[in-house]
């Protein structure tokens, strides 16, 4: 899918941008919508129908909900219909087989699975549509009366497949009228290239180590090998997802859109609470605005607040996938956040930063182990090895061999996942012309290296496509 998407972008992006900048501003959104649908059909020819259905139904229901003649009960009815439609569509394609499988085990029946392919990005564009409709109901935004503009918002190809989740109110004004500039294009190209390099040069390379370790038999796993595997997955998923977010933000900027940041160096966090303020920020904002606060948030007492946190994190786990390990992963974070909420957060604040960061990172790495459960060939042996393997002990020759072969990329990944490179870059003082030239050379080198890796490497997973 990555190669297909990059191929599409390399062929069609120059065409899209040429048409976008040549034609009048009045049809720019039509150009974006047309090519966004082609982009989606490139990877999912059949399910582009679902995308169109989501656009049309959301557009109509938005008008009905926002109509001044339908305030009160009738507007609420249309909101409920919209929620049922979108969650129903998500449920059928993403969760039906999961629910059927549970029912089969609980009741001893043998109902046939639907075995429907998961439409790429359905969780992202469904949540975008719901945020729009809920905000219209709340009166935060006006319903969009131009179906082309609205369709461009839902289907916009820069962030269509793997986020970030863009709330309508963030781009409402830019959908109506935006002014692109050469600075926007320059920044967009640079940001896109950095994201591509994160994905191809770091996530794929480090991920290959995880791919090797997760496929090992239990008897081959020393404690060091198991932890090395989880560390590699921890870095892979960060550079994979934050890389795509960078690409989406960069592509959006080329067309005049200013998407909000989705990551803020989460592995520097000193608590789990802080980690989830920095990781996949658009998802955290969505659940806070549309689930946690409507449930009562922290306004109905500590017991109710803890229950609300528990519900939100169970749903967060389910959002990531229709599998028990994702539910456990969500509840794992729910428990950690509950512990922090009842007093541990204050203890962490008083700890030395290094200790607090080490605690947080260890919990996060263990969490990624739960998250990646389906990818581990021998899960019981793997998790046992995390704490001790009686046969191989703490460190094996195999662990040292694997570490030696990947040490350079792991060190690069560890440094690159922090704010250190950004801090160092900010200390370099260059005049505008020198900065532009160096930036151009740096971007060109990264782009060439990334394209070379894409062409030569067969290992090109995109982890968040499945969500």
Q: Which residues are marked as active site?
A: 320
- Domain range enclosing 380: 184-270+351-466
Q: Do 119 and 23 belong to one domain?
A: yes
Range 281-287 average pLDDT:
93
Assess whether pLDDT exceeds 90 at residue 446: no
**109-118, 266-275, 451-460 — which is least confidently predicted?**
451-460
Assess whether pLDDT exceeds 60 at residue 314: yes
Q: CA–CA separation, 367 vs 370, rounded Å?
A: 5
Assess whether pLDDT exceeds 60 at residue 213: yes
Q: Do 167 and 213 belong to one domain?
A: no
Whether 294 is covered by a domain: the verdict is no
Q: Do 151 and 215 belong to one domain?
A: no
Q: Do 246 and 188 belong to one domain?
A: yes
SS3 of 117-156: the string is CCCCCHHHHHHHHHHHHHHHHHCCCCCCCCHHHHHHHHHC
Whether 360 is covered by a domain: the verdict is yes
**197-206, 386-395, 419-428 — which is least confidently predicted?**
386-395
Whether 323 is covered by a domain: the verdict is no
Q: List, for residues 333-362, the tens digit of each pLDDT value.
A: 999 999 999 889 999 999 999 999 999 999
Q: Do 166 and 189 belong to one domain?
A: no
Whether 370 is covered by a domain: the verdict is yes
Q: CA–CA separation, 190 vs 192, rounded Å?
A: 6
Q: List, for residues 242-280, the tens digit of each pLDDT value.
A: 999 999 999 999 999 999 999 999 999 999 999 999 999
Q: Do 34 and 160 belong to one domain?
A: yes
Residue 110 or 460, more confident = 110
Predicted confidence at residue 451, as pLDDT, reads: 82
Predicted confidence at residue 243, as pLDDT, reads: 93
Q: Do 198 and 171 belong to one domain?
A: no
* Domain-terminating residue out of 154, 178, 202: 178
Predicted confidence at residue 38, as pLDDT, reads: 86
Assess whether pLDDT exceeds 70 at residue 323: yes
Range 76-101 average pLDDT:
92
Q: CA–CA separation, 239 vs 20, rounded Å?
A: 30
Range 117-139 average pLDDT:
91
Q: Do 134 and 215 belong to one domain?
A: no
* Domain-terminating residue out of 124, 143, 178: 178
Predicted confidence at residue 455, as pLDDT, reads: 73
Q: Do 128 and 190 belong to one domain?
A: no
- Sign of the dihedral defined by the CA atoms of residues 72, 78, 80, 86, in that order: negative
* Domain-terminating residue out of 122, 147, 178: 178
* Among 265, 247, 235, CA closest to 194: 247
Predicted confidence at residue 465, as pLDDT, reads: 54
CB within 8 A of 171, min separation 6: which ones?
A: 153, 257, 258, 259
Q: Do 151 and 253 belong to one domain?
A: no
Whether 49 is covered by a domain: the verdict is yes
Count the neighbouring beta carbons within 10 Å of the beta carbon of residue 247.
Answer: 26
Q: CA–CA separation, 202 vs 329, rounded Å?
A: 25
Whether 324 is covered by a domain: the verdict is no
Q: Do 138 and 55 belong to one domain?
A: yes
The total number of structural domains in the chain stands at 2
Question: What's the distance, Cα to Cα, between the start and end of the chain in Å?
Answer: 14
Whether 315 is covered by a domain: the verdict is no
Whether 14 is covered by a domain: the verdict is yes
Helix, strand, coil share (%) of the chain residues, nearest 5: 75, 0, 25
Predicted confidence at residue 458, as pLDDT, reads: 58
pLDDT class for 150, splitting at 50, 70, 90?
very high
Q: 179 is written with which tokens? A: 């002014």
HSE-CB for 355 with a 13 A CA cutoff: 6
Q: Do 218 and 101 belong to one domain?
A: no
Predicted confidence at residue 9, as pLDDT, reads: 63
């Amino acid at each position: 899918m990555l190669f297909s998407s990059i191929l599409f972008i390399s062929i069609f992006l120059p065409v899209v941008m040429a048409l976008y900048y040549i034609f009048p501003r009045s049809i720019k959104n039509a150009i974006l919508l047309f090519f966004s649908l082609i982009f989606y059909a490139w990877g999912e020819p059949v399910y582009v129908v679902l995308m169109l259905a989501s656009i049309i139904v959301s557009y109509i229901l938005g008008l009905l909900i926002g109509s001044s003649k339908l305030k009160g009960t009738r507007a609420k009815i249309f909101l409920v219909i919209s929620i049922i439609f979108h969650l129903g569509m998500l449920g059928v394609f993403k969760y039906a087989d999961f629910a059927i499988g549970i029912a089969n085990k609980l009741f001893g029946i043998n109902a046939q699975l639907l075995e429907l392919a998961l439409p790429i990005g359905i969780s992202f564009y469904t949540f975008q549509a719901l945020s729009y409709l809920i905000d219209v109901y709340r009166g935060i935004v006006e319903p969009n009366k131009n179906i082309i503009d609205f369709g461009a918002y839902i289907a916009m190809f820069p962030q269509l497949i793997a986020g970030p989740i863009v709330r309508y109110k963030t781009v409402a004004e830019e959908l109506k009228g935006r002014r692109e500039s050469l600075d926007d294009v320059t920044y967009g190209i640079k940001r896109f290239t950095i994201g591509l390099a994160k994905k191809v040069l770091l996530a794929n390379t480090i991920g290959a180590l995880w791919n090797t370790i997760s496929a090992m038999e239990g008897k081959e796993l020393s404690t060091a090998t198991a932890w090395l595997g989880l560390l590699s997955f921890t870095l892979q998923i960060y550079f994979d997802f934050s890389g795509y977010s960078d690409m989406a933000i960069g592509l959006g900027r080329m067309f005049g859109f200013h998407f909000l940041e989705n990551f803020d160096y989460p592995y520097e966090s000193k608590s789990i609470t802080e980690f989830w303020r920095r990781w996949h920020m658009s998802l955290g904002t969505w659940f806070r605005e549309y689930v946690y606060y409507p449930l009562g948030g922290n306004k109905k007492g500590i017991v109710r607040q803890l229950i609300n946190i528990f519900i939100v994190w169970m749903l967060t786990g389910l959002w990531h996938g229709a599998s028990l390990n994702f539910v456990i992963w969500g509840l794992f974070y729910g428990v950690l956040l509950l512990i922090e909420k009842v007093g541990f957060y204050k203890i962490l604040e008083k700890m030395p930063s290094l200790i607090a960061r080490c605690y947080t990172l260890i919990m996060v790495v263990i969490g990624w182990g739960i998250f990646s459960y389906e990818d581990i060939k021998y899960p019981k042996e793997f998790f046992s090895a995390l704490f001790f393997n009686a046969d191989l002990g703490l460190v094996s020759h195999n662990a040292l061999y694997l570490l030696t072969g990947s040490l350079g990329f792991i060190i690069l990944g560890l440094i690159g996942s922090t704010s250190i490179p950004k801090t160092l870059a900010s200390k370099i003082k260059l005049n505008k012309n020198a900065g532009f030239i160096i930036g151009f050379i740096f971007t060109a080198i990264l782009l060439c290296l990334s394209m070379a890796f894409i062409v030569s490497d067969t290992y090109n997973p995109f982890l968040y496509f499945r969500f």
